[in-house]
Amino acid sequence: MSAPTMGGLSAAVAVLASLMARFPDLPAVDVHVSTVYPDQLELSAHSGLAAFEAWREALGIDPWSVVHGVQSGGTTRRLNARTVFTGVRLCLVGYSEIASPVAGLGVAS
C-alpha cells in the first residue's frame, strides 16, 4: 500500500472550493479532509444548529435523513447528515448545547 499524497485529497478540496464559490454567504463551518477517507469532506457546525440547517437546506439534504444523537452525558445534541456532492461523500455535522441535560442518558460515542 502506498503512502497517501496531497493529490489524493484533490477531489475533496475541489468540492470545498466549489461550495465556497456557490454558497459564499452561508455560515462558516469547520472543515475536515482526511487521508483515511480521501473521497470525503466533513463540515461541522459547532455554534448551534442554525448553521447546520442552512447548509442542510443549501445542499438539498432531506430533513428526514438527518440522524439525531446526544453525547457528553446528555449535554450536547448532535445532528448528522450525509450526501454525495459532485462525486465526493459529504458529511454534515451540527452540535448544540442542551440547556438541561437529558436524564438517564450516558455518553454516546
Q: What is the 3-state secondary structure (H, E, C) of 15-75?
A: HHHHHHHHCCCCCCCEEEECCCCCCEEEEEECCCHHHHHHHHHHHCCCHHHCEEEEECCCC
Could you tell me the pTM of the whole model? 0.84
Number of domains in the chain: 1
User: Is 102 inside a domain boundary?
Assistant: no
Q: State the residue range of the domain holding 72.
A: 6-97
Which residues does 6 contact at the CB level (< 8 Å), separation at least 6? none
Query: What is the biggest distance separating any 2 CA atoms in the chain, rounded to whole angstroms?
Result: 49
User: Is 12 inside a domain boundary?
Assistant: yes
Q: What is the pLDDT of residues 60-101, one digit of tens each?
A: 999 999 998 887 777 778 999 999 999 999 999 999 888 775
User: Is 108 inside a domain boundary?
Assistant: no
Integer Cα distance of 69 and 11 in angstroms: 29
User: Is 106 inside a domain boundary?
Assistant: no
